[in-house]
Chains A and B, each alone.
Chain A
Amino acid sequence: MIVQAHGIRLDVPDGWEARIYRRPHGDPTLHTANFALPVDDGDFGAGAVLSMPPGGEFLCLTEYRPGDGLVPGRGLFAAGPLPLPLRSSHFRPRVLHVARSGSFGLQHFFTTAGRPFCLYAVIRPPRTGARASGDGTSLGLNRVLSTVSIAGARGGAPAGRAAVRP
């Protein structure tokens, strides 16, 4: 089903969950996962990651506010959308907001549609010690990410994507 709010839109697969929210005075954040999400969670999904079952996949997309030296498209946010498909080799055990044995994380800072974002994804393979079945290109995250579209920032920037296929 299509879920959209605050200039972020995606097609959520059957059985997945998603939230697009913005805290008072905060910036838009997307959480989506193939398991039940906590009702209330930190912006980087600490609660979701801790409750992630084997085979779980979690995606967080959170916007940053320009200012105080943060400029869209420069420095940390110079990169463009994440290239797809994601592979299991892209995920690292230490790239986790909350460390958890058996889980692997990926982080990508980028600018799209004139808006700076951080993309944070976590997977927990079905088998202990395994990264994923095969090379991970069959991850549900790849399909979900390919549907994420982001409306342009104020000022008329064109819409953009969080991830693109070559």
Chain B
Amino acid sequence: MTALVACETVLLVLLSILVVGLLRSHAEILRRLGRPEADEGEALPPASAADSGARAADDVAGVTPAGDAIQVGLGPGAPTTLLAFLGSGCSSCHELWEGLAPERRDLPGDLRVVVVAQDPSRESPSRLRRLSPPDLPVVMSSAAWEYYGVPGSPYFVLVDGPSGRVSGEGAAVGWPQLWSLLRDARADAGDDADDGTGTSGAERARRAERTLARAGIGPGHPSLYPSPSAEDPEGGA
């Protein structure tokens, strides 16, 4: 009898520990999903530009394959620019170099393209002169490779003109892949585009959540899931 009671006691303790553990993890989940309700009149910290995660672009300066000097400005207000990090000895870059030729280039008219190669100490200026499109700036700058964290060529960085921030980047070994990169980057930039009220899409979403929370409407509230109505014109009456 005593042994039975002892076993039951041990089982109860183990079950209690299990239940407490489950309740704590549930509370943690709820804490991460939910947001604190703001008091009336209390403002939550505004979203900063850094919240978007987009980093600032930096001007690209160096020498050209012809031995001239150049600096390309990429601050706010500059044209939207595609930085193409290419090499003269890079076999994967071959198709991309060919696609940049004036007669084959098919890029949006408002997009400025700047080719960035490594310094003359790491590149062949004479090979670059043969590959370079005559109507595009080509800058030899290892410092730019370092700033933009280029892992290797070919690599592309899209800089949004109005904000002067990087809006997309990635590797692409062919033009279809590059087109996909550009399309995604521009679509993402559109999601965060200013709606004319001076706020980004992310800030508008946060503001909507705060307003709903103050009204007592949280995830799962019935008002968020409209039911079919007798007055619904589509349903007819």
Of B5-13, B73-81, B84-92, the one contacting chain A is B73-81
Q: Pick from B68, B73, B78, B135: contact of A5, CB below 8 A.
A: B68
Q: Is the CB of B73 within 8 A of A36?
A: yes
Task: State the CA gap A2–B76 with chains docked (Å).
Answer: 20
Q: Is the CB of B135 within 8 A of A39?
A: yes
Q: Is the CB of A19 within 8 A of B69?
A: yes
Q: Is the CB of A18 within 8 A of B70?
A: yes
B contact residues around A27 at 8 Å (CB): none
Q: Is the CB of B137 within 8 A of A22?
A: no
Q: Is the CB of A17 within 8 A of B112?
A: no
Q: A8 — nearest CB in chain B belongs to which residue?
A: B69
- Count A/B pairs, Cβ under 8 Å: 62
Q: Is the CB of B68 within 8 A of A20?
A: yes
B contact residues around A14 at 8 Å (CB): 59, 73, 75
Q: Pick from A4, A6, A16, A20: contact of B73, CB below 8 A.
A: A16
Q: B78 — nearest CB in chain A belongs to which residue?
A: A36
Task: List A residues 1-59 near B (Cβ within 8 Å).
Answer: 1-6, 12, 14-22, 34-36, 39-40
Q: Is the CB of A36 within 8 A of B112?
A: yes
Q: Is the CB of A4 within 8 A of B61?
A: no
Is B217 in contact with chain A by the CB < 8 A criterion? no
A contact residues around B61 at 8 Å (CB): 1-3, 12, 18
Task: State the CA gap A136–B194 with chains docked (Å).
Answer: 34
Q: Is the CB of B79 within 8 A of A36?
A: yes
Tell me the dominant secondary structure on chain B's binding face.
loop
Is B54 in contact with chain A by the CB < 8 A criterion? no
Is B46 in contact with chain A by the CB < 8 A criterion? no
In the assembled complex, the CB of A83 is this many whole angstroms from the nearest CB of chain B, namely 26
B contact residues around A3 at 8 Å (CB): 61, 69-71
Is B96 in contact with chain A by the CB < 8 A criterion? no
Q: Pick from A6, A12, A21, A22: contact of B71, CB below 8 A.
A: A12
Task: State the CA gap A14–B164 with chains docked (Å).
Answer: 12
In the assembled complex, the CB of B131 is this many whole angstroms from the nearest CB of chain A, namely 16
Most chain-A Cβ atoms within 10 A of its Cβ — which of B61, B70, B74? Answer: B70
Is B202 in contact with chain A by the CB < 8 A criterion? no
Q: A30 — nearest CB in chain B belongs to which residue?
A: B69
Tally chain B residues at the interface, Cβ within 8 Å. Answer: 23
Task: State the CA gap A19–B63 with chains docked (Å).
Answer: 9
Given contacts A1-B59, A39-B136, contact A17 B71 (CB under 8 A): yes
Task: List A residues 68-107 near B (Cβ within 8 Å).
Answer: none
A contact residues around B63 at 8 Å (CB): 5
Given contacts A36-B79, A39-B137, contact A17 B73 (CB under 8 A): yes
Q: Is the CB of A18 within 8 A of B71?
A: yes
Task: State the CA gap A34–B75 with chains docked (Å).
Answer: 10
Task: List B residues 49-69 near A (Cβ within 8 Å).
Answer: 59, 61, 63-64, 66-69
Task: State the CA gap A6–B68 with chains docked (Å).
Answer: 7
Task: State the CA gap A55–B17 with chains docked (Å).
Answer: 71
Task: State the CA gap A3–B63 with chains docked (Å).
Answer: 8
Is B72 in contact with chain A by the CB < 8 A criterion? yes
Task: State the CA gap A21–B112 with chains docked (Å).
Answer: 21
B contact residues around A34 at 8 Å (CB): 73
Q: Is the CB of A21 within 8 A of B78?
A: no
A contact residues around B75 at 8 Å (CB): 14-15
Residues of chain A at the chain B interface (Cβ within 8 Å)? 1-6, 12, 14-22, 34-36, 39-40
Can you identify 7 A-B contacts, CB atoms within 8 angstroms?
A2-B61, A6-B69, A12-B71, A14-B59, A15-B164, A18-B70, A22-B68
